[in-house]
Structure 1
Amino acid sequence: MMIHLLLIRFEKLERRSKMEICSRFRKEVFSLYYRKSPYPDQNGSCTQLTYDKETDDNRALIELNYMRWLVGFDTKTVITNEYDDHLIQCAINNVANGYLEHLIEENSLCYTYKASSGCYTSNLGANLGRNYNAAMALQRFIMDAGDGNKYVGHRNWILFSGLKETAFGGAYDSMSPKYTTTIAMKVVPWPYEAGEKLLFTAYPPPGYFPAQFVYNRFSFWAPNIPERSYIKISVKINDVPQNITERTDFLQGAGDQDKGVVFALSGYGKNSYDYPYETILNKRIDVKISYDKTVFDYTIYPVDCSVVPVRTSVPDSDSFYSSSGSGDSTKKKVSIGVGVSLAIVLIIVVAVVCYFIFYKKKEDSGESNNDENQHDDA
């Protein structure tokens, strides 16, 4: 039997040089090197205090646009000041009550209408200590660890095609019953409107990629994957086939609301909080995602872009989440194109067995933006 397969590669990303990736990393990443908190101590007060929000927002924005560029976006997200009060008051409410909550109640401490609006449309992050800021929270949203974040909803919003503008708001309270720092990041637009979608969104994406940002959970989604199609995953590291663990399929989830899948690799982290940096550095990761007669094929090259190579887990152990000298790898040769390539491949097979499994994501009270991104999933 002869079957025509549609083979899709994101060549624009695979053609980027390591120098290009690492040059921007050293100029545009703040989360690994700047850990001071800009937020004054609320000391149990609900009063909205001032801080250097412009600097905190801009550092996170620069890193956000770098991360979005890595996966394929060329258009930059911008900062909006329209929701400053909403985000800061949301953070004050969350830290005063010692929780991460998108649907805050009117009888909660430091409740305001603006706080309610800000929490409902934001990714939320928290930390047990004071050394936490917006750029650090951004990476925790992308990491999306924890049992409550198996659909990586916060990552979906960070990499949403319609994220044209954003803002951050944070608060620190030494009197908090649990988390002492909370941060809100505006991600849900109103009205909802997607932008120009990528051919596919993979994290980590194809090509050279900072190993420090390879997290335990890999993810993939693409437009127009049929609802009833079963997504197959094949991963090799340095040509050695890998076992897939903690697989989670999602349908019409956060952000672009495309069908996709989240998975981890056996031997590269025991749980979603682990960082496979040490074991993944300078290796070649070949990923093949397929459904029906369509195959997405890409290769990831994790490299150390830091001026001083990082040899230990980067994020602090007390970080919580809502929604954390380079060797060369031999790079595969790819054909020259304008960004992506679509090729029809004729394959002769003896037999084909097709499985159609309907996956429907469990719906809760806004899984897309209501995960608590915290270790204990409150």
Structure 2
Amino acid sequence: MMQKHRALGLLAMLLLGVVLLVNGRSLTANQPEPPPPPPTFPPKPTVMQPQTPAGANIFQYLSFIVRPEEFGPWTDTQDRQEVVAFYQIEYLASEGVDSGWTGNVGSCVAGSTTAAFKEAILRRLNYFRAMAGVPALEGFLPDYNSKAQAAALMMSAEGALSHAPDAGWACYTAAGSEGAGSSNLYLGVYGPSAISGYILDPGSGNYPVGHRRWILYPQSKNLGTGDIPPSSGNSAANALWVFDTANMWGSRPTTREAYVAWPPPGYVPYQVVYDRWSFAYAGADFSGASVVMNKNGSSLGLTVQPVVNGYGENTLVWEPNDSFSAAPSTDISYDVTINNVIINGSPQSFNYEVIMIDPG
């Protein structure tokens, strides 16, 4: 299907070691080439144009996803009962929603998905943001959705991923190319499962967890999603538009903590505790930072990853020498201390506790 030069390019992408996943954790052996790292910050425009969605309300999905009154602007992760309830009410509620997709890959028709399906994706996004102590997204912009949908169609049709697809790609459109350059991309998975996959951010090529950082970026208010379910001869695909250009260079909103960590401090369901841990602090210099961890009071080894800026807020990433995929029989405490974080020219240290739980 693909020309020889494109096949060689995809082989080079595969050598980056990025891993594709389905439903958040499970790896599949027969998936197409895995996703590349996400796009970094675009150049800041000299004049910010107001965003006015044409012919649609940007809040069209909010009525379905307003959190119950017992939850605040973000989750109180120090309250075990609230964390369990939030997982069951918000995370699990976004599973199993039919996409209602109206397109056709073979005919290069991007189509659309239902409002209910988009609500499920937005619910999953806001679950992670609330747990991380970041303000909720307001919704999806129709323009972002349209371009992301065109991008997802191209990825599914071509059976490959690129943030800069050329005109030779199957089902190529300028809108899809723009969407590809402004989005997290996934092949072989779509919908809410793709969101969990971006937070997981596995594979050697994604060690800076850039996909995660864009989802948890505090300034973001409006994103966009494009989703193609699997069909005969074509893989599922997701494109999550993450460049909220009207807000991404704005002032940082208040967050629960001064930093944004994943997993966050407090109680966290084991299903969303992943192999890579991250700690973001706006403008921080992590080049000389170190991390110390204890598991239930005993020292735990870890590997700190090289620092890479450009994806959302400056972030330190490390991988503890432990497994988080099995349900714990009792709560497990992880104490985290991060030293020598340079903020405004001064070294600072941070300490917090993550308690991994089985929400039942």
Higher helix share: 2
Which residue of the partner structure matches residue 353 of structure 1?
A: none
SS of structure 1 residue aligned to 2:134 = coil
Which residue of the partner structure matches residue 291 of structure 1?
A: 340
SS of structure 2 residue aligned to 1:290 = strand
SS of structure 2 residue aligned to 1:287 = strand
1:190: how far off?
Answer: 2.1
1:142 has 2:196 as partner: no
- Provide the C-alpha distance between the structure 2 equivalents of 1:243 and 1:40, rounded to a whole number of angstroms: 49
- Provide the C-alpha distance between the structure 2 equivalents of 1:303 and 1:100, rounded to a whole number of angstroms: 35
- Provide the C-alpha distance between the structure 1 equivalents of 2:86 and 2:283, rounded to a whole number of angstroms: 32
Q: Map residues 1-378 of structure 1 onto 2, 5 A cutoff.
A: 16-30=78-92, 33-34=95-96, 36-39=98-101, 42-52=104-114, 54-127=115-188, 132-172=189-229, 174-176=231-233, 180-190=235-245, 192-194=248-250, 195-196=252-253, 198=255, 199-226=258-285, 229-245=287-303, 247-256=304-313, 258=314, 260-268=315-323, 275-278=324-327, 282-291=331-340, 293-305=347-359, 325=360
Which residue of the partner structure matches residue 312 of structure 1?
A: none
Which residue of the partner structure matches residue 370 of structure 1?
A: none
- Provide the C-alpha distance between the structure 2 equivalents of 1:202 and 1:215, rounded to a whole number of angstroms: 12
- Maintained 8 Å contact 2:278/2:316: yes
Tell me: higher relative CO, structure 1 or 2? Use CA pairs within 8 A at least 6 residues apart. Answer: 1
1:97: how far off?
Answer: 0.3
- Provide the C-alpha distance between the structure 1 equivalents of 2:254 and 2:162, rounded to a whole number of angstroms: 30
Q: How many residues align?
A: 278
- Maintained 8 Å contact 2:75/2:131: yes
The answer to which of 62-71 and 114-123 deviates more is 62-71
- Provide the C-alpha distance between the structure 1 equivalents of 2:353 and 2:329, rounded to a whole number of angstroms: 13
- Counterpart AA for 2:292: S
- Maintained 8 Å contact 1:87/1:186: yes
1:283: how far off?
Answer: 0.3
Question: CA 1:175–1:76 in structure 2 vs 1: closer, same or farther (change >3 Å)?
Answer: closer
The answer to which of 39-48 and 134-143 deviates more is 39-48
- Counterpart AA for 1:239: G
Question: CA 1:14–1:87 in structure 2 vs 1: closer, same or farther (change >3 Å)?
Answer: closer
Q: Identity percentage over the alignment?
A: 25
- Provide the C-alpha distance between the structure 1 equivalents of 2:178 and 2:125, rounded to a whole number of angstroms: 23
- Provide the C-alpha distance between the structure 1 equivalents of 2:227 and 2:168, rounded to a whole number of angstroms: 21
Question: CA 1:146–1:40 in structure 2 vs 1: closer, same or farther (change >3 Å)?
Answer: farther
Q: Deviations over 1:29-80 (max 9, x none)?
A: 148842755435625220232431x111111111211211111124443222
Which residue of the partner structure matches residue 5 of structure 1?
A: none
- Maintained 8 Å contact 1:211/1:281: no
Structure 1 or 2, whichever has the larger Rg, is 1
Q: TM-score scaled by structure 2?
A: 0.71
1:137: how far off?
Answer: 0.7
- Provide the C-alpha distance between the structure 2 equivalents of 1:56 and 1:294, rounded to a whole number of angstroms: 43
SS of structure 2 residue aligned to 1:82 = helix
Question: CA 1:121–1:181 in structure 2 vs 1: closer, same or farther (change >3 Å)?
Answer: same
- Provide the C-alpha distance between the structure 1 equivalents of 2:85 and 2:190, rounded to a whole number of angstroms: 23
1:262: how far off?
Answer: 1.2
SS of structure 2 residue aligned to 1:25 = helix
- Counterpart AA for 1:193: W
- Counterpart AA for 2:265: P
Q: TM-score scaled by structure 1?
A: 0.68
- Maintained 8 Å contact 1:287/1:299: yes
Which residue of the partner structure matches residue 22 of structure 2?
A: none
- Provide the C-alpha distance between the structure 1 equivalents of 2:92 and 2:334, rounded to a whole number of angstroms: 26
- Maintained 8 Å contact 2:145/2:226: yes
- Maintained 8 Å contact 1:93/1:115: yes
Question: CA 1:135–1:285 in structure 2 vs 1: closer, same or farther (change >3 Å)?
Answer: same
